[in-house]
Structure 1
Amino acid sequence: MFLDRDHSILAFNERVFDWAVRTDVPLLERLRYLCIVSSNLDEFFEVRAAAHITAAKKGETKGSYTTASFEALSAQVHNLVARQYALYNDALVPAFAQHGIRIVAHGDRSAEQRRWVHEHFVREVRPLLIPVGLDPAHPFPQVANKSLNFIVRLKGRDAFGRENEIAIVKVPRALPRLIRMPKKVAPDGALFVSLSSIVRAHLEDLFPGREVTEFSQFRVTRHSDLALDEEDVRNLRTALRQGLQHRHYGQAVRLEVSAGCSRFLSDFLLEQFDLPSAALYRVHGPVNLVRLTQLVDLVNDPKLLFLPWSSAWPRQLQPGVSIMDQLRQRDVLIHQPFESFDGLLAFLREAVNDPQVLVIKQTIYRTGSDSELMDLLSEAVRRGKEVMAVVELKARFDEEANINWAEALESIGAQVVYGVVGLKTHAKMLLVTRREGRQLRRYGHLSTGNYNVRTAKLYTDLSYLTADEETTADMDGVFNHLASQNRPPKLRKLMLAPFHLHRRMIEKIERVGLAASRGEDARIVAKMNALTDEALMRALILAGQRGARIDLIVRGACMLAAQVPGVTDNIRVRSVIGRFLEHTRVFYFRAGGEEDLYLSSADWMNRNMMRRVELAWPVTDATLRQQIIDECLVAYLCDDRDAWTLNAGGTYDRAAHPVDGRGAQNALMVRYGPRAALGREAPGVA
């Protein structure tokens, strides 16, 4: 009944990779897709691979992680990586050349270009390189996670007469990976030179008097998921900052080398990093495709990019009118990125500037290092308002930014708490308390996505603004729970993980199943980023077997096998990959004459239900509920361009009309923006 989670994650990346293959996608966007897949694979190895590597080295044959599971996973990744580089070399590079865009290899440079590259090397690169010859006094150096390095085999003797034949050259991260050659040496087109090519061409300059007989660029990926025993930590922030210093040197899980790397050098590196041979990836090109994203920015040719999308001001917010006045009349829904995140910023800005606003409380998960929203919270403190920020320090790969924000807010007098020991605070909520006459009134914001201005332009999310007394009272109760760590209050509208969100979702599914068994109308449509929780999947299977019709729109990993005869006949699963990353979580249940619709910060994963603070909330306004059904569920069930369907064999089939079909995101862009903005509208950032 259940598919393998790691293989499902890789299958998602196969779907993203497909957009890099498509010739109807603008050229620079195809490269961006390719880089996104590489970035996703980096994170996959950093988070998911260590257990597989450990099992393979121990020769495990039983349990969740075995030598066989590692080999199967490696085969799938090797296949995907080989196709990535084949696409890059055989399709993208020639296509770029047709537009006068080339990354010029050393052998293809003119004499004048070689002189310029040499001068650049001497001036900008050579002073930052430290070649290390290996001997008993110079052991193999610490190599940082995902950094660019060279291994060199030398002939001859060093200055002390010793034949130390192996040397390592570490390339600093501060150096740009692509450099555009000036017009004087590249008058025709946009010509670039890669940093690895510059270093490669001058390796012998780093070892005067020695002959370089073999060399290869290499890159090691390390396990990077921070693990802390929070019960034994006195100061979580201090412990995390110390842990970040060691993240770059965790267990090695993958080794990438040039395709021409000799067996001698690759075996030497595998031994140094204590890796099995299947963890070695020989690549025909740069060992870090992610860095090629820089080419998109350096070229920046509008003809090779999607036409820009400009988010509209939220339709339900009247410009120039107090947002809090409007919320007293009705709830407001903002559908990002089709509508602008500026609506939320305007709400917070109004609260900061309003002398009657006394308290602002907010959860902070991923805001980015440069955040207007955080600046507004700081301004609120300076204006004398009580500000409480629940900062999640353990937001993966955003730990440092969040630590910095926590310290900055604390330094000016904000009340900063770090959530609950052992849990991540993933719920997204903002609560404003205002004095109105003799009473206090609350205004709240709940969201399926992060308080991040950048990702608000790239991710589909729903923002929900409300002055509903029960909802905002529940929000205040949750904030107090997070600060005091007392038992959570009895909530009237919100569902809270890890306390009862999981159980309530299962109950909703079971109620639909019971309605189906009685011959009543029974329907579930759920949209999320991942589905991996076994209890929820078992409940869905049972409801489907009782006759409920179930549609699941799952962007990423889905472990529930669909359309399996006799098991999941009534369950359909689809994934939509579009220009924007699908991020909304919407859960619809119909049991007989009863309909429920919930928005949530949580995916249906065990970690979200049991190891995170998450929220789900009902949408009861009939107009808003129908809008969500139309835009987030029906549109995606009708998508026959950007959708993939999970078949009974556990693999995904492409949409029926991948070029000229009806894409849900396309339809929403038409609904929210001018038709002219859709000229070359193909799927984009995944």
Structure 2
Amino acid sequence: MVDADAAHAFPAPQAGTVTGDVSISSSSPAAASELRARAANGRFVRTAHHDGADPSALPSDRFLDREISWLQFNERVLQLAADSSVPLLERARFLSIFSSNLDEFFMVRAAGLKRRIATGIAVRSPSGLEPREVLEQISRVAHELSAMQTRIFDDSVRPALVDEGISIVRWSEVEAPEQERLGDLFSHEIYPVLTPLAVDPAHPFPYISGLSLNLAVILINPKTGKEHFARIKMPPSLPRFLKVRRASASVTEDLFEAQFVPLEDVIAAHLDQLFPGMEVHEHYSFRVTRNEDLEVEEDDAENLLAALEKELTRRRFGPPVRLEVEEDLDDHVMELLTRELGVTEDEVYRLPAPLDLRGLDEIADIDRTDLHFPPFVARTNPDLAPEESSKAANLIERIAHQDVLLQHPYDSFSTSVQAFLEQAAADPQVLAIKQTLYRTSGDSPIVDALIDAAEAGKQVLAVVEIKARFDEQNNIEWARKLEHAGVHVVYGIVGLKTHCKLALVVRQEPDGLARYCHVGTGNYNPKTARLYEDVGLLTSDPVVGQDLTRLFNQLSGLAPRSKFKRLLVAPRSIRDGLLDRIDKQIHRQVQHGDGRIAFKVNSLVDEATIDALYRASIAGVRVDIWVRGICALRPGVEGLSDNIRVHCVLGRFLEHSRIFLFGTGDGREAWFGSADLMHRNLDRRVEAMVRIVEPRHVEQLFDLVARGMSGDYGHWSLDGAGRWTRVHQAPDGTPLPDIQEALIAMHAQRRRKARR
């Protein structure tokens, strides 16, 4: 049953907050009948590459807008922040995540659209909207969502935190002794790093860096009575909120309660020290978001690092796309900011202080286990668990005897993938290690293992994607670290990001060379592996080993015509491979009535794939889509997508795996890999998907997706008008269980059974 209140928890003007209500032109009985007839007679024509089906055979308004769909995803994050059944500090974290998500959306998606409009290269979107219409919708919806975040924080989360002894206070609410201590802190640790910048004929309006929090200060010269403007940037090296030590608090209260004051309040209280001899008339906080997407020419791969470093410097000077200001900002200060920054009225967001709620992540880290999700410790996969608890398992030996299917974070990354690479680096029989790296932590044990292997004389190849968005600087640093250790570092294929998640270990054994492989859906990052849900395969199958050898040769050398047996590789074969398998299920449905397709992805945008899924639905194939973020497909539309369901799951872990399932019974196929169903993944990235052949692993993947689509667990459901409805109550009104908590319990039980 749908909880009616939850379904309309975030009503939007005129039929829905972030929906684009459109009547589907295929929904008339006559049109539906015609579409079914075309499907039955095979009159949908597949084109050579992108078009999936003859566009004239399907309604023109069949796609939802991708930008609005992304904003809907961030609205679902807000719904978790508003949910009183979610632990309180996790609700604060979801508010922080919402802010970070929205920042990136403006820096990349909104900024990119604005840039294309300005250069005259923007085109009508597949949803049928003109570029300026999309930008207008983005502005409307983003304003609504920002207002929602404010209401949730001010009316729900903040009062609940106060009830638990955790409060964010203004300077005037801080006790006098603590004001004195914070004053000393300001003098010794804050004041020296501040740079007040005045605006006058000798000082032009300063450059405001993207995402920086600033104070706009209005000063009066007491001698002349003249008004002056100054800007102070909040030092990014300091915490967003400073902890207040209350003299009146007992030892117990100090352990379990916490009070914080915004950094800008502390600085504002000491402006007289920054502008001696001037009268501080007014001060307001503001924040600018800029276009921070990168454009790097890759014609000369030798200079890629230098070009990227140069572009990273330019990123700071991208044009503004959003201005956030305190809601009571004076009109003449607003006029100054908008004029100097060159932003329009639609790009201004008036919000109550404090701005930049990303800082709530610091508060969410408070050590209050009663206000967090229950503790979770990842467990070693039973196929890799040591027989004796005091000794680590020999993973090479285990993988030699059987494929191992991993699901993180339920299966420990450190005792599986990380241990596999560390053991390979230390194994004298290992001759070579080859690996792709997209994002990893700065102190990564994966990078350390590759360095150890190189220093031990092994051949080590790292295919590094230094252009992973917003991780570029970190990637440059550890790419150079690898090079200095003797690792062969390459940057993939010019014009394509290398996004596949692959590792290959070549080992000398008595019978000759053996290859051990890992293919996954997540980055080789031990930190995010504890928070992201991903799947991976450890295998010694010679077919996969040969496929990975060919793919690594393609990435490091020249092998453009490589063929693969258990892999699909973008940009050449993933889209066509999926479309072929969708067609097979259509034929299966026509012949036997049991066609079946199920996908689990982060985003579904690719029009050719969506059209193929529409054709499958029209033919009667049952299609299930488990999507976390963007979905441009309209499910449940009569005559077009009657047989398609779309669900979303959000929770303590970020659902990140990409799984593709086809068929029923003995004819089932299961694939997973690094690619989402988006143009960038299928056309502009090197992606890899692997077919799973072990029957028990195929069963596990089918069972996982079936659980997610069963309706037995809390989820969101998408309808044909583009509305997402939260479904988190059973017919009797009891809360539906959380699928991630269920999987935690299931994996723990599996581990206990394996011990017996």
TM-score, reference length from structure 1: 0.94
Is there any run of 5+ residues in structure 1 with no aligned partner, and where?
676-686
Deviations 1:449-496 (A, max 9, x none): 111101111111111000000111100100001011331411111111
Within 5 Å, give how 1:352-371 maps onto structure 2.
352-371=425-444
Q: Give the CA deviation at 1:517.
A: 2.6
Q: Which residue of 2 aligns with 1:680?
A: none
Q: Which residue of 1 aligns with 2:156?
A: 91
Deviations 1:403-446 (A, max 9, x none): 11111111121111000111110100100000112511100010
Q: Output the amino acid matched with 1:664.
A: I
Q: Is 1:141 matched with 2:141?
A: no
Q: Is 1:246 matched with 2:311?
A: no
**480-489 or 106-115: bigger deviation:** 106-115
Q: Distance in 2 between matches of 1:59 and 1:267?
A: 28
| Residue 289 (structure 1) aligned to one of 354, 357, 377 | 357
State the SS of the aligned residue for 1:419. Answer: coil
| Residue 72 (structure 1) aligned to one of 121, 124, 137 | 137
| Residue 387 (structure 1) aligned to one of 456, 460, 463 | 460
Question: Across the two proteins, how many residue pairs are aligned to each other?
Answer: 672
Q: Give the CA deviation at 1:385.
A: 0.6
Deviations 1:644-666 (A, max 9, x none): 11012111111142872133212
Sort the Cα spacing of 1:190 and 1:495 in 2 relative to 1 into closer, same or farther, 3 A.
Answer: same
Q: Which residue of 1 aligns with 2:26?
A: none
Deviations 1:8-62 (A, max 9, x none): 0000011111111011111111100110111100110111111444578899997
Q: Is 1:37 matched with 2:98?
A: yes
**52-61 or 433-442: bigger deviation:** 52-61
Within 5 Å, give how 1:154-193 maps onto structure 2.
154-156=219-221, 163=226, 165-184=228-247, 189-193=257-261
Q: Is 1:471 matched with 2:471?
A: no
**210-219 or 236-245: bigger deviation:** 210-219
State the SS of the aligned residue for 2:663. Answer: strand
Within 5 Å, give how 1:263-278 maps onto structure 2.
263-278=331-346
State the SS of the aligned residue for 1:231. Answer: coil
Q: Which residue of 1 aligns with 2:88?
A: 27
Given that residues 135 and 164 in structure 1 are in contact (C-alpha distance below 8 angstroms), is that contact kept between their aligned partners in structure 2? no
Q: Is 1:329 matched with 2:401?
A: yes
Sort the Cα spacing of 1:202 and 1:57 in 2 relative to 1 into closer, same or farther, 3 A.
Answer: farther
Within 5 Å, give how 1:184-223 maps onto structure 2.
184=247, 189-223=257-291
Q: Output the amino acid matched with 1:375.
A: D
Given that residues 133 and 164 in structure 1 are in contact (C-alpha distance below 8 angstroms), is that contact kept between their aligned partners in structure 2? no
Deviations 1:233-262 (A, max 9, x none): 641011111211222221211111111111
Q: Give the CA deviation at 1:362.
A: 0.3
Within 5 Å, give how 1:179-578 maps onto structure 2.
179-184=242-247, 189-231=257-299, 234-297=302-365, 299-319=366-386, 320-342=392-414, 343-437=416-510, 439-578=512-651
| Residue 117 (structure 1) aligned to one of 182, 192, 203 | 182
Given that residues 714 and 728 in structure 2 are in contact (C-alpha distance below 8 angstroms), is that contact kept between their aligned partners in structure 1? no
State the SS of the aligned residue for 2:179. Answer: helix
Q: Output the amino acid matched with 1:672.
A: H
State the SS of the aligned residue for 1:525. Answer: strand
% same residue = 40
State the SS of the aligned residue for 1:130. Answer: coil
Within 5 Å, give how 1:550-629 maps onto structure 2.
550-590=623-663, 594-629=667-702
Q: Output the amino acid matched with 2:656.
A: H
Q: Output the amino acid matched with 1:470.
A: V
Q: Distance in 2 between matches of 1:464 and 1:291?
A: 37
Q: Output the amino acid matched with 2:654.
A: L
Q: Output the amino acid matched with 1:316.
A: D
Q: Which residue of 2 aligns with 1:647?
A: 719
Given that residues 149 and 170 in structure 1 are in contact (C-alpha distance below 8 angstroms), is that contact kept between their aligned partners in structure 2? yes
Given that residues 241 and 260 in structure 2 are in contact (C-alpha distance below 8 angstroms), is that contact kept between their aligned partners in structure 1? yes
Sort the Cα spacing of 1:510 and 1:255 in 2 relative to 1 into closer, same or farther, 3 A.
Answer: same
State the SS of the aligned residue for 1:673. Answer: helix
- Which of the pair has the greater relative contact order for Cα pairs under 8 Å at 6+ separation? 2
Q: Output the amino acid matched with 1:152.
A: V
Deviations 1:328-378 (A, max 9, x none): 221011111111002112211221111110000000011111101110110
Q: Give the CA deviation at 1:198.
A: 0.7
**240-249 or 253-262: bigger deviation:** 240-249
Given that residues 640 and 655 in structure 1 are in contact (C-alpha distance below 8 angstroms), is that contact kept between their aligned partners in structure 2? no
| Residue 637 (structure 1) aligned to one of 685, 703, 709 | 709
Q: Output the amino acid matched with 1:570.
A: N
Q: Distance in 1 between matches of 2:522 and 2:110?
A: 27
Given that residues 451 and 486 in structure 2 are in contact (C-alpha distance below 8 angstroms), is that contact kept between their aligned partners in structure 1? no
Q: Distance in 2 between matches of 1:617 and 1:93?
A: 46
State the SS of the aligned residue for 1:433. Answer: strand
State the SS of the aligned residue for 2:440. Answer: coil
Q: Distance in 1 between matches of 2:581 and 2:503?
A: 27
**106-115 or 356-365: bigger deviation:** 106-115
State the SS of the aligned residue for 2:196. Answer: strand
Q: Give the CA deviation at 1:125.
A: 1.6
Given that residues 134 and 164 in structure 1 are in contact (C-alpha distance below 8 angstroms), is that contact kept between their aligned partners in structure 2? no
Q: Give the CA deviation at 1:308.
A: 1.3
**163-172 or 22-31: bigger deviation:** 163-172
**89-98 or 551-560: bigger deviation:** 89-98
**58-67 or 202-211: bigger deviation:** 58-67
Deviations 1:525-549 (A, max 9, x none): 1111000001111111111111111
Q: Distance in 2 between matches of 1:523 and 1:372?
A: 41
State the SS of the aligned residue for 1:311. Answer: coil
Q: Output the amino acid matched with 1:136.
A: P
**41-50 or 589-598: bigger deviation:** 589-598
Deviations 1:500-526 (A, max 9, x none): 111111111111112223343101011
Q: Give the CA deviation at 1:68.
A: 3.1
Q: Which residue of 2 aligns with 1:127?
A: 192
Deviations 1:539-597 (A, max 9, x none): 11111111111011111000001111221111111111122110111111117963211
| Residue 661 (structure 1) aligned to one of 736, 741, 748 | 736
Given that residues 82 and 283 in structure 1 are in contact (C-alpha distance below 8 angstroms), is that contact kept between their aligned partners in structure 2? yes
Q: Distance in 2 between matches of 1:592 and 1:462?
A: 23
Given that residues 515 and 591 in structure 1 are in contact (C-alpha distance below 8 angstroms), is that contact kept between their aligned partners in structure 2? no
Q: Output the amino acid matched with 1:50.
A: A
